[in-house]
């Protein structure tokens, strides 16, 4: 059924993962002499750079998720399949899904992305969720809002204080954006909504094990970021490694910080597809791929995006960024289409650094380009324009723009829903 070659020269290409990398590969092969099957665990492509805004009640999940089918609907040679790959048999050239279905391939593209890594402390995952999926974001949003609700109902000052302490672990771009957004939620959005607590008095804390925030940015921008976060009321602790996390506190730098919600933004590891394939992986579980994204020792197997470790021209591994994944996807889509048509092999992938941006709060962001370093309002405007532009689809752009403008004017956020995923359903309101 899937990818039955119509003529002998057609190839079955299976692409695992519909993130930035996988989508671009499938699109690049659209209209080519390949029968493409794009497989993902979810039916949507997620715009992860704005996921923290879902976690902080500013956007709805659907605003940053586009159906995979919609993104490839114009390519009759691209099929979409919902499923989780549990087995890759390179000998038989077929993959197997969790439901037992098996799909043959001529060419396999692995773009399974990454998830959080707790550096050997997997028990922390329960208390300090990471932020990689829509489910994660919904869960964090609910816990965040529920903490204020519980603090409002509590008569115990210590419990109130604990419930209104939020700890973000990891001072990279994700941690900075998340902690800034939580601070604005508490200081502005919720400020007038409670009678028995003052949400603006919440403790919002950022812990970073290294001596500086934003280690990949120039030191000047990192210092600016720290000052801006402090101005937003964020407590920033550097050189502060986390020693333990429980349901009640985070222990870091020798101190126990009572908190009801810690969020993990400190590290990632690759999806288990490298292990499933059996290929050589680095310590983060990333498949060691060649500079043309092929995987040594496997015929017609490619790996790219966050699941792959690919070296740049300087011999250092490329960073795990959306722009790397996207560029690799565009490169590989084109390269495979050409290879299938003419048999020609491609020259190595070259990453073009488009620069990095991180947003802190309103009128506060940092942008690091090869041609300029920006901060403050110019960086913030640039961040907003670039992210609207990068969103897939005009409808998403419109909806996110409306919500951002609304929030700018009113400080209000439109998606303040507490969802208790455990009780699923029930009989309406109380």
Q: How far is the CB of 407 from a second copy (least distance, A)?
A: 9
Q: Give the span between the Cα atoms of 60 and 82, in whole angstroms.
A: 22
Sheet containing 234-237: give its strands across. 234-237, 203-207, 165-169, 261-264
- Give the DSSP letter string of 207-254: E-SSSSSSTTS-HHHHHHHHHHHHHTTEEEE-S--EEEE-SSEEEETT
Number of neighbours of residue 150 by Cβ within 10 angstroms: 16
């300090």: which residue's tokens?
Answer: 128
> Looking at beta carbons only, is 11 or 396 nearer to a second copy?
396
Q: How far is the CB of 230 from a second copy (least distance, A)?
A: 28
> Looking at beta carbons only, is 148 or 224 nearer to a second copy?
148
Q: How far is the CB of 315 from a second copy (least distance, A)?
A: 28
- The DSSP secondary-structure symbol of 348 reads P
Q: How far is the CB of 394 from a second copy (least distance, A)?
A: 8
Pick from 5, 4, 22, 7: nearest CA to 326? 22
Q: How far is the CB of 90 from a second copy (least distance, A)?
A: 17
- As given in the structure block, the two tokens for residue 319 are 């960073």
List beta partners, residue 11: 34
Is 177 an annotated catalytic residue? yes
HSE value, Cβ hemisphere, 13 Å, CA-based, for 110: 34
> Looking at beta carbons only, is 39 or 366 nearer to a second copy?
39
97 and 10 Cβ atoms separated by less than 8 Å: no
> Looking at beta carbons only, is 37 or 294 nearer to a second copy?
37
Q: How far is the CB of 136 from a second copy (least distance, A)?
A: 6
> Looking at beta carbons only, is 120 or 426 nearer to a second copy?
426
Of the listed 177, 184, 208, 226, which one is catalytic?
A: 177
Pick from 228, 226, 245, 244: nearest CA to 236? 226
> Looking at beta carbons only, is 296 or 410 nearer to a second copy?
410
Number of neighbours of residue 155 by Cβ within 10 angstroms: 7
365 Cβ contact list (under 8 Å, min separation 6): 357, 358, 359, 374, 375, 376, 379, 380, 382, 383
Q: How far is CA 68 from the centre of its chain?
A: 17
Residues with a known catalytic role:
177
């Amino acid at each position: 059924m899937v990818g039955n070659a119509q003529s002998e020269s057609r190839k079955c290409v299976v692409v695992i993962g519909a993130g930035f990398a996988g989508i671009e590969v499938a699109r690049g092969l659209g209209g080519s002499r390949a029968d493409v099957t794009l497989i993902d665990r979810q039916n949507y492509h997620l715009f992860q750079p704005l996921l923290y805004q879902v976690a902080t009640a500013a956007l709805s999940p659907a605003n940053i998720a586009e159906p995979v089918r919609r993104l490839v609907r114009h390519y009759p040679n691209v099929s979409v399949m919902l499923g989780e790959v549990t087995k890759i048999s390179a000998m038989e050239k077929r993959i197997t899904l969790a439901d037992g279905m098996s799909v043959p391939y001529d060419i396999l593209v692995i773009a399974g992305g990454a998830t959080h890594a707790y550096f050997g402390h997997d028990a922390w995952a329960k208390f300090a969720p990471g932020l990689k999926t829509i489910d994660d974001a919904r869960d964090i949003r609910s816990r965040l809002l529920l903490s204020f609700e519980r603090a409002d109902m509590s008569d115990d000052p210590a419990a109130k204080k604990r419930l209104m302490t939020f700890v973000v672990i990891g001072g990279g771009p994700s941690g900075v954006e998340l902690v800034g957004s939580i601070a604005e939620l508490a200081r502005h959005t919720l400020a007038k909504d409670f009678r028995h607590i003052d949400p603006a008095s919440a403790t919002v804390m950022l812990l970073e094990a290294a001596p500086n925030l934003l280690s990949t940015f120039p030191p000047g921008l990192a210092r600016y970021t720290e000052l801006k976060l402090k101005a937003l009321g964020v407590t920033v602790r550097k050189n502060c490694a986390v020693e333990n996390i429980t349901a009640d506190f985070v222990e870091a730098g020798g101190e126990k910080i009572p908190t009801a919600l810690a969020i993990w933004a400190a590290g990632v590891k690759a999806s288990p597809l490298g292990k499933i394939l059996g290929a050589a992986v680095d310590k983060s579980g990333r498949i060691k791929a060649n500079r043309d994204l092929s995987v040594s020792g496997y015929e017609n197997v490619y790996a790219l995006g966050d699941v792959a470790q690919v070296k740049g021209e300087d011999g250092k591994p490329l960073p795990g960024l959306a722009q790397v994944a996207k560029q690799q996807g565009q490169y590989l889509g084109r390269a495979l289409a050409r290879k299938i048509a003419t048999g020609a092999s491609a020259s190595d992938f070259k990453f073009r650094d488009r620069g990095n941006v991180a947003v802190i709060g309103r009128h506060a962001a940092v942008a690091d380009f090869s041609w300029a370093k920006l901060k403050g309002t110019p960086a913030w405007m640039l961040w907003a324009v670039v992210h609207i532009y990068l969103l897939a689809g005009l409808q998403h752009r419109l909806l996110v723009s409306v919500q951002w403008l609304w929030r700018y004017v009113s400080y209000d956020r439109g998606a303040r829903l507490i969802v208790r995923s455990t009780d699923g359903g029930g009989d309406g309101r109380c």
